[in-house]
Amino acid sequence: MTFADLLVQLVNGLAQASTLFLLASGLSLIFGVTRVVNFAHGSFTMVGLYAAIAMAERLGGAAGFWLALPLAALAVGVLGAVAEMLILRRVYQAPELFQLLATFGLVLVLKDAALWLWGPEDIFGPRAPGLSGSVELAGLAVPAWDLFLIALAPLLLLALEALLARTRWGVLVRAATEDRHMVGALGVNQAWLFTGVFALGSALAGLAGALQMPREPASLGLDLVTVTDAFVVVVIGGLGSLRGAFLAAALVGVVKTLCFALGGVEMGGTTFNFSKLTLVVEFLLMALTLVLRPWGLAGRAPAAAQESPALVEWVRVPGVRFAAGAGAALLAAAALPLLADEYAVVLATDIAVFALFAVSLHFLMGPGGMAPFGHAAFFGVGAYAAGLLAQAAWPMAAALLAAPLAAAAAGLAVGWFCVRLSGVYLAMLTLAFAQIAWSVAFQWDDVTGGSNGLVGIRPAPWAADKAHFYWLVLVFGGTALALLWRVLQSPFGFALRAARDNPRRAQALGIDARRVQWLAFPAAAAAAGLAGALFAYSKGSLSPEAMGIARSVDGLVMVLLGGLHTLAGPVAGAALFTWLQDEIIRRTDYWRLILGAVILLLVIAFPRGVVGGLRHAWKERS
Amino acid sequence: MSGETLIQARGLNAFYGRAQALFGVSLEVRRGEVVALLGRNGAGKSTTLKALMGLVPPRAGEVRIAGTAVRGWAPYRICRQGLGYVPEERRIFAGLTVLENLEVGRRPPREAVPAWTPQRLFELFPNLGRMRERPGGAMSGGEQQMLTIARTLMGNPLAVLLDEPSEGLAPVIVAEMARVVRELKAEGLTVLLSEQNLRFAAGITDRAYVMEQGAIRHEGQMAQLLQDEALHARYLAV
Ligand SMILES: Nc1ncnc2c1ncn2[C@@H]1O[C@H](COP(=O)(O)OP(=O)(O)OP(=O)(O)O)[C@@H](O)[C@H]1O
Ligand SMILES: [Mg+2]
């Protein structure tokens, strides 16, 4: 690569950075004031791009293109305001994770809305009239649109800063970012402030989307890619800081394109292919930031008054009666193959696998009080470990024992970093690790099969029959459940809950809170890894999706559906979720819309989860 | 002196989670009065003020501000109704300048009360006037305490809740604080303040309520209370 090539790449990287900044500034503003980590931010960008293309075509001509940019931003701003008023306003009092889940419901709904409006095919937008060519810069041909984008970012930063510094609204936004409850006590109606901030942030996301018209086609996959990029930038920059987001966007944009530009580099005899790092490098940067400077490059530790309510105040740790009940339920479940057809048995196998996954996640969330957002990493490590061992001709039983160990090792490593953080920061760090694991699976073709994944993961002959495999899952899953339950009743389980409820008092009791929370990770990871291994054998093949964001979110939905307060909750949640998903997918193409709507309704109606909510309603009555 | 009742609470019960913190608290502050809420650490003084303000919504009882029942209202509406709140922990916006902090508190003027402006407030708090552009985070504790009061006054309240205004301040600043409260009283402002510092409270208040374990145990004129040794020993001595 020549120096000139590098320069061209650098311009490309900065143009990307500019878009990242637009995305991140909106997300950061919204988080700063409302404390909501808005997963739907990328969806707003996606809608912005679709809407801009549609408007540019409808209006036609050069004027149409330029008018479409602000109009699309405006439309998305209105959409954001409506979403805030209808949905988020109802969940501000809930723990962070519930809000995250509500916004994820919004993601699903918006994706299917876009599918319905604009169809499944990618749609190419018009090129920018007047800026479609390239500009001669130091002897190089640089796309004019890229230069336009690069110029736009600093202007926007200045405009936003002026808005925050010089208007009453901006002062209120900054005050609310520090201490929104105090702002309320001073007579400011937070509801409108929040709606306004949401509208502005969404409009910025919409604008970021609209500005991609000449650069990339509108596609339904944009939402999650975009929002993870935005998360990364916001976390690196410091939640709630515009300047931090600006710096971080430049850093991520440039480092990403540099990795791409460097390509294969000879290092100590072996070739290291940097371009393979493009997917993972931003998450490496984010993990590094969270470990070294937890509040980001320019962020500040949140004021105590700003902290959101605890994930869960209590978890009923059941006694022997529960164990007896669980055993009876397990026996009843074991009778299923005698009564139902193969389809039901396969579905029940899925349910059992995901119940184990959900229980392992609940172990960290309920008794542990932590909110991991990348739990699928452990599921995936277990699944891939089993898959690779199966390919290496290990017997299934050995692979099923080794896979949880591999996942536990991953849990030990990830947990060590994660327990140094809390709240959203912990959630984001686990997300970073999960994405790193995902990109390794996705890009390490030689070992993991890359995007094709692994195939031919066959159960041992004695377990090949669907019913036999189902029983196997029940035995392994039941054993893992029993072990986790024992752990919760042990002094370790007590220490874990003490560390969650009151770290300082736990310390006074001689409990090393951080260490206890750390060790909860490998325990939960082992169970998740076992679920992953069983999943791999039940499906016979594996793809990186096994540890994608969607899998992590599925787990959260299951746990929150069931409720955090009981151990039976995640099992019920997993059953309900898996069954619902199966039912809906069979009936309609718009299953996301329905699932998303169900999530939204549940979060709004049952902030304690279904089992917890019903139990509470029942107690209130009696 | 005994004008209309501005703050009235009857039988307030309040909870933190499952723990009850207030047990049937009733009190009354009339226009122009400066009333103290006394009691040891954890007696429930701050909780009472937060319950009045709607920050810890009372689960039972009645709150009336200037005659209007406000229980269950959001704090911003109670503020607009005429109740100002100065929190114990000050909660200055550290990243905002003095003027910006005041701007956050600004509300439209009220009929019959002269409106507060930054200019008028800087006369009451001369040292704030000398640091208008300083960020709240770069101010001393005493300066921050003055700023929280000024910020609340920007809302042109009819009555102000002051939560332990003298807490953690040097004696000179406490004296300064006493001057401020006296001047506000002279302006006709109504004040309900919580205190542990009896001497400070004695210098500026007319009446007092004494709290213990989330309930009002005694009510009376400040002058009487000062002479009642038994009362001190029971509810106030450390
Ligand atoms: N946020 C909270 N969560 C749970 N309990 C609380 C909380 N704030 C106060 N309490 C409890 O409520 C009771 C009353 O507290 P409050 O702060 O009203 O007392 P106080 O009279 O203001 O004390 P101090 O003079 O120390 O400020 C105490 O037992 C306290 O432990
Ligand atoms: Mg107090």
> For the segment A83-122, what is each residue's pLDDT rounded down to a tens digit?
999 988 888 777 777 788 889 899 999 999 999 999 999 9
pLDDT tens-digit readout, A178-220: 888 899 999 999 889 999 999 999 999 999 999 999 988 999 9
Q: What is the mean pLDDT of residues B109-133?
A: 91
* A172-A174-A180 Cα angle (round to 5): 70
Q: Which amino acid is at A91?
A: V
Cβ <8 Å between A187 and B76: yes
Residue B75 with chain A: CB contacts under 8 Å: 181, 184-185
- Average pLDDT over chain B, rounded to an integer: 91
CB contacts < 8 Å between A and B, how many? 60
Predicted confidence at residue A333, as pLDDT, reads: 84
Predicted confidence at residue B136, as pLDDT, reads: 92
Ligand 1 center–CA B46 separation, angstroms: 7
Does A265 have pLDDT greater than 80?
A: no
Residue B95 with chain A: CB contacts under 8 Å: 174, 178
pLDDT tens-digit readout, B48-58: 999 999 999 99
Q: Which residue in A92, A179, A186, A189 has the most chain B C-beta atoms within 10 A of its own C-beta, making it the best mutation to test that interface?
A: A186
DSSP string of A216-275?
A: S-B-TTHHHHHHHHHHHHHHHH-TT-HHHHHHHHHHHHHHHHHHHHH-EEEETTEEEEGG
Task: Compute the distance between CA of residue B55 and CA of residue A91 in angstroms, rounded to an integer.
Answer: 18
| Ligand 1 pocket, residues with Cβ under 6 angstroms | B 16, 19, 21, 39, 41-47, 88, 196
Among A213-222, A290-299, A358-367, B88-97, name the one with the lowest average pLDDT.
Answer: A290-299
Does A581 have pLDDT greater than 50?
A: yes
Out of A174, A185, A305, closest to residue B53 by CB: A185
Q: What is the mean pLDDT of residues B160-175?
A: 90
Does A323 have pLDDT greater than 90?
A: no
Task: Compute the distance between CA of residue A361 and CA of residue A358 in angstroms, rounded to an integer.
Answer: 5
Please give the C-alpha separations between residue A377 and each of A98, A386, A547, A577, B75, in angstroms, as whole numbers: 21, 14, 5, 20, 43
Out of B17, B89, B152, closest to residue A313 by CB: B17
DSSP state of A89: G
Alpha helices in chain B (DSSP H): 45-53, 75-81, 98-105, 118-124, 126-129, 141-153, 171-186, 198-204, 222-227, 229-231
Out of B74, B79, B89, closest to residue A186 by CB: B79
Predicted confidence at residue B47, as pLDDT, reads: 95
* A9-A276-A40 Cα angle (round to 5): 80
Cβ <8 Å between A178 and B94: yes
Predicted confidence at residue A267, as pLDDT, reads: 67
Most informative mutation of B25, B41, B47, B195 for ligand 1 (most atoms within 8 A of CB): B47
Cβ <8 Å between A186 and B17: no
Which residues, 6 or more positions from A150, have their beta carbon under 8 angstroms from its beta carbon? A11, A14, A15, A17, A18
Closest CA–CA distance from residue B45 to any residue of chain A (Å):
18
Q: What is the mean pLDDT of residues A550-564?
A: 85
Residues of chain A with pLDDT > 90: what percent? 37
Task: Compute the distance between CA of residue B205 and CA of residue A264 in angstroms, rounded to an integer.
Answer: 79
Report residue A494 as tokens. 């007590």
ipTM of the complex: 0.93
Residue B87 with chain A: CB contacts under 8 Å: 182, 185
Q: What is the mean pLDDT of residues B149-162?
A: 95
Ligand 2 center–CA A603 separation, angstroms: 35
Task: Compute the distance between CA of residue B3 and CA of residue B13 in angstroms, rounded to an integer.
Answer: 27
Task: Compute the distance between CA of residue A550 and CA of residue A558 in angstroms, rounded to an integer.
Answer: 12
Question: Is the distance from CB of A558 to CB of A608 less than 8 angstroms?
Answer: no
Question: Is the distance from CB of A438 to CB of A380 less than 8 angstroms?
Answer: yes
Q: What is the mean pLDDT of residues B109-119?
A: 87
Q: Which amino acid is at A13?
A: G
Which residues, 6 or more positions from A338, have their beta carbon under 8 angstroms from its beta carbon? none
Closest CA–CA distance from residue B106 to any residue of chain A (Å):
8
B79 touches chain A (CB under 8 A): yes
Ligand 2 center–CA B153 separation, angstroms: 21
Task: Compute the distance between CA of residue A126 and CA of residue A118 in angstroms, rounded to an integer.
Answer: 16
- Average pLDDT over chain A, rounded to an integer: 86
Domains of chain B by start residue, with CATH: 5-236 (3.40.50.300)
**Which residue, A126, A153, A160, is CA-closest to A17?**
A153
Please give the C-alpha separations between residue B204 and each of A311, B122, B158, B177, B217, in angstroms, as whole numbers: 44, 22, 18, 10, 21
pLDDT band with cut points at 50, 70 and 90 for residue A609 = low
Q: Which residue has the higher pLDDT, A201 or A7?
A: A201
Report residue B231 as tokens. 């009362």
- A114-123, A266-275, A315-324, range with greatest mean pLDDT: A114-123
Neighbour-count burial of A41, counting CB atoms closer than 10 A to its CB (0-12 exposed, 13-18 middle, 19+ buried): buried
Cβ <8 Å between A171 and B76: no
Question: Is the distance from CB of A434 to CB of A376 less than 8 angstroms?
Answer: yes
Predicted confidence at residue A97, as pLDDT, reads: 73
**Domain regions of chain A by residue span:** 3-225, 335-546
**Which residue, A31, A33, A43, is CA-closest to A108?**
A43
* A171-A176-A182 Cα angle (round to 5): 110
Please give the C-alpha separations between residue B25 and each of A505, B12, B21, B214, B215, in angstroms, as whole numbers: 31, 5, 10, 8, 6
* Residues facing residue B12 across a β-bridge: B25
Q: Which residue has the higher pLDDT, A301 or A569?
A: A569
Does A304 have pLDDT greater than 80?
A: no
Cβ <8 Å between B151 and A186: yes
Predicted confidence at residue A312, as pLDDT, reads: 65
Predicted confidence at residue B161, as pLDDT, reads: 96
pLDDT tens-digit readout, B179-212: 999 999 998 899 999 998 888 888 899 899 999 9
pLDDT band with cut points at 50, 70 and 90 for residue A152 = very high
Predicted confidence at residue A305, as pLDDT, reads: 45
* A384-A390-A391 Cα angle (round to 5): 90
Pairing of strands B190-195, B34-38: parallel
The four Cα atoms B92, B98, B102, B104 give a dihedral, to 10 degrees, of -60
Helix axes A396-418, A376-391, angle to 10 degrees: 150
Does A610 have pLDDT greater than 70?
A: no
Does A135 have pLDDT greater than 70?
A: yes
Report residue A126 as tokens. 């018009």
Q: What is the pTM of this model?
A: 0.84
Does B101 have pLDDT greater than 80?
A: yes
Taking the CA of B45 as reference, the closest ligand is: 1
